[in-house]
A = this chain, B = another copy of it.
Amino acid sequence: MTPASPPSTRATVRYKGRGHYDRELIDSILDEAILCHVGVVQEDGTPMVLPTLFARDGDHLYVHGSPASRLLRAGKKGVELCVTVMLLDGFVMAKSAFHHSVNYRSVVAFGTADEVTDAEEKRRALELLVEHIHPGRSAESRPPTDDELKKTLVLRLPLDEASAKVREGGPIDDEEDLDLPYWTGVIPVRSVRGEPVST
């Protein structure tokens, strides 16, 4: 991992040993994840967090949806967004309840979005979104019509204010607990795809 510095105060991971700022790691987490959670401050000043699909293209993320989406309507106005991605890797079982934990790789990106209006970029973003959930699928489905493009709002978010946070490895127990008669270790967890069901 290449060392890199926090891009801003708000993008600095509080737990120093677990914060990373190199784009290679950040990109690998984004590319493995399927969903992100996007946070926005609503007009009444309260926060809203909605899960959505996304795709990365170099230094940007794309999210898309209905032009009626509350999240996208807010995002298209250029308000600040927070995009968070989380990969859960395992449950960490310690001798003490206190030291139980989870292994994970997460990314948090702050910034404002732009609406993608260029038809060519919009087509590419939508293709990447389909490819991100199922590689190869954009060639195995009918591409969007001009009317469908109009019915889809696409936002582009920069990745220049992003951080990653990673926890890995076994439990970190207190020395005085090490002889307690409890099993310790890691229970891995992962997302798997099942057999396709035809319609």
Contact = CB atoms under 8 A, between A and B. Distances in A.
Interface string A81-110: 111101010010111111010101010101
Number of this chain's copies in the complex: 2
Q: Which of A70, A84, A95, A182 has the most CB of B within 10 A?
A: A84
Contacts of A110: 46, 48
Interface stretch (A55-63, A113-121, A127-135): A127-135
Contacts of A93: 134, 137, 141, 196
B10 A46 contact: yes
Interface residues of A, number: 80
Contact of A95 (B42, B141, B183, B195): B141
Contact of A177 (B38, B40, B127, B142): B142
A34 B100 CA distance: 14
A49 interface: yes
A74 B100 CA distance: 24
B197 A188 contact: yes
